Structure 1
C-alpha cells in the first residue's frame, strides 16, 4: 500500500517536520535569481529600489521578458524538488522510488497516460471553444518566442508540477498517513493545503474565492488518484500535462502563466458554474476512466481505511522445528 511505504524508512514525526522546513527553505532559495533579476533590471532602467516595494506582484513579474520570467519562476520549484530528494534520501533514508510508487519500478506508461488524458481533452475543448467563440481569442503566435517558450516549458514545467506532487501527494501524504494511522486525514489535509497555496494566484483576484473550489477540488482529485492507484505516476503525468498545455496553448492577462502561447483569451472570465464544472463532472469522469483501465477496487478501504505498520519479517525457522 502506498502510504505504508513510509514505514520502511525513518518516519519519526520530527523528521517530517524538519524535512518540510528544509524543502520550503530550498524552494525559497530558488526565488533569489528572480528577485535579483527584477532588482537589477529596475536599477539599470534608473528606477529606485524603493519603488519596487510599491509594485504589486503582476507588475513585478512584468518587468522582465515573459519567457525569462517563466524560467526564473519555475526555477524555485526545480530547486525545491532537489530539496525533496535530499530530505527523502538522507533524512528519511528512503529510496525515491518508494515515494513515487508501490510498484517495483516507476510506471512511465501511467505517467504518459495521465499526461495524454488531460492534454487531449484540454486541447479538444480549447479548439472547440475557439471556433465556437472566435471573438474571445486573439492569435498571438510568434515563432521564435514560442520556440523559446516551448523549450523552457517542456523542461521546467514537469519539474514544477513534480515538486508539487512529490511534496503533497508524496511526502506529506505518506508522512501524515503514518502519523495519523489513517488515509482520510492525509487526503483532506494535503488537498486543502494544496488548494490554499494557490490563493495568491491572480486568478483568485479576478474570479473571486469561488475559484478555490477548483484548486482544492483538484487537490482531492490528484490525492484520490494517488491512493487508488497505489502510486503517484498518474498524478505526475496529469499535473504536468495540465500545466504544460495551459502554458503553450492559451494565456490571459489574469492568469499566473502569462506566456507567448498560441492563443490569448480576451474574454471576461466566468465566475459561475464553469469554475466548478471540472470538479463536479469532468474529474469524476476521469476517475472512472482510470478506474476502468487500471481495475481499481476497494475504494472505501483505500480512501478511508486504517494505515497499519506491516509486520516485520520473522526470523527464518527450519522446517520441522518445534513440531
Structure 2
C-alpha cells in the first residue's frame, strides 16, 4: 500500500528541484545567467578563455579588427617614413617656390663665378673656360663641369632648411650610407664586366692613359660623387618627397621628377634627332632610382646606382665629345645618327635595368 504521508510524496519533487539548482550553479567567480541554454554558452566561452594563451589570442584578434587601415596603400613599405618629414610643409605653392629658388641659386652662382673670372682674367680666359665647360673634353674641363654642381647641392640644402624647416638627414633618409654601401659594392663587378665586354667594340679607342686617370682620381671621384649627389638630392630627394607627401600614386612621385630629369637631358643642339632617346633613357633611369628610393626608404641605393653608372660612363667608357676628358676609353660615334646610336642606347638601357635588378636583389637580403 502506498504511503499517504505528504512528506513522502514531496521528496521526489524536492530532489528534482535540487537537481535543477545544481545544474544552474556556476563556477566560482562566474556571473550567473538567465536561462540554462544561455548559461551553457557563456560557460563554454569562459572555459575557452580560461585556457593558457587564449585571452592573449582574443586580444590580438580584437586589436587586429580595430586597427585602422594604413595611411597609404602603396606597395613600398618604407616610403611613408621617408615622406613623413615633408608632410608638414608640402603645400604646392611652397614646393614650387622652393624649386624656383633652387634653380635661381644655381644659375646665380654659376653666372657669378663666370663674371668673376671675366673680371679677374679677361675675356680670353673666360672664352677658354666656357669651351671647357661646353665639352668637358679635357681632365681640367671635366673637373670644371663637375664643380658646377656644388651650387646645386647648396641650393637644395638651403631651401630645404630655410623654406621647409628640415635637415639634410631628412632628404637622405635613415640608413642611407649603409644601403649605399650594400648596393654600391656589388655593382662594381658589373661595371667591370661592362667595361671588359665593351673592349671588343670596333668604335672604341683608348683615350686617357691609365697613369693620368689615376693621378686625377683623388679629385675626380669626390667631384663625381658630388655631381650625382646633387641630382639625387634634388630629384629623388626634394621633389620625390614634396610630391609624394601630397599624392600617393607612383605616377606622381616617381614619374614627374623622372620626366623633369629626362627633360633636362634633352639636348637637340648636341645630339640632333637622337636627343629624345637620350632624354627617355634619363627618364627611365629616374624611375628606377625612384623605385629604389621608395623600397629602401632612403637615398642610399639611388646614390649607389647613379655613382656606379657615372663611373662607367665618365671614367671608363665615355662618348666622344661628351664629358670624356678622363675616360679611359672613348666611343667615337655620330650621336646625331639615330640608326648608329640605337644599339648603344638599347644596351645602355639594358645595363641600367640589370644594375637596378641587382640593387633590388641586394636590398632583399
Q: 1:126 aligns with which of 195, 208, 216?
A: 195
Q: Does 1:111 pair with 2:183?
A: no
For each residue in 1:269-319, what CA deviation from the matched residue of structure 2 results, as whole angstroms up to 9, or x when unmatched? Answer: 63224413443x4444444433333239xxxxxxxxxxxxxxxxxxxxxxx
For each residue in 1:211-259, what CA deviation from the matched residue of structure 2 results, as whole angstroms up to 9, or x when unmatched? Answer: 322111111111111112221110011112221332221233232x121
Q: Contact 1:8/1:94 (CA < 8 Å) preserved in 2? A: no
CA distance in 2, matches of 1:138, 1:61: 22
Q: Does 1:88 pair with 2:160?
A: yes
CA RMSD of aligned residues (A): 3.2
Q: Contact 2:232/2:299 (CA < 8 Å) preserved in 1? A: yes
Q: Does 1:264 pair with 2:330?
A: yes
TM-score by length of 2: 0.66
Q: Contact 2:258/2:283 (CA < 8 Å) preserved in 1? A: yes
Q: Contact 2:182/2:362 (CA < 8 Å) preserved in 1? A: no
Residues 205 and 188 of structure 1: is their aligned pair in 2 closer, same or farther, counting only changes over 3 Å?
same
Q: How far did 1:166 drift?
A: 0.8
Q: Does 1:29 pair with 2:99?
A: no
CA distance in 1, matches of 2:351, 2:312: 17
Q: How far did 1:156 drift?
A: 0.9
CA distance in 1, matches of 2:270, 2:184: 23
Match of 2:294?
Answer: 227
Q: How far did 1:76 drift?
A: 2.3
Q: How far did 1:129 drift?
A: 2.0
TM-score by length of 1: 0.74
Q: Contact 1:100/1:170 (CA < 8 Å) preserved in 2? A: yes
Instruction: Report the structure, 1 or 2, having the larger helix content.
Output: 2
CA distance in 1, matches of 2:288, 2:157: 24
More divergent stretch after superposition (142-151 vs 230-239): 142-151
Question: Over alpha carbons, which structure has the higher Rg?
Answer: 2
Match of 1:306?
Answer: none
Residues 25 and 210 of structure 1: is their aligned pair in 2 closer, same or farther, counting only changes over 3 Å?
same
Q: Contact 1:9/1:94 (CA < 8 Å) preserved in 2? A: no
SS in 1 for 2:330: strand
Larger RCO (CA under 8 A, 6+ residues apart): 1
Q: How far did 1:182 drift?
A: 3.4
Q: 2:146 aligns with which of 71, 74, 83?
A: 74
Within a 5 Å distance, the mapping from 1:40-189 to structure 2 comes to 43-44=123-124, 61=134, 66-101=138-173, 103=174, 106-130=175-199, 132-133=200-201, 135-142=202-209, 145-189=212-256
Residues 240 and 217 of structure 1: is their aligned pair in 2 closer, same or farther, counting only changes over 3 Å?
same
For each residue in 1:69-108, what CA deviation from the matched residue of structure 2 results, as whole angstroms up to 9, or x when unmatched? Answer: 222222221111011111112221113212212x3xx342
For structure 1, the residue ranges without an aligned partner over 5 or more in a row are 297-323
Q: Contact 1:195/1:216 (CA < 8 Å) preserved in 2? A: yes
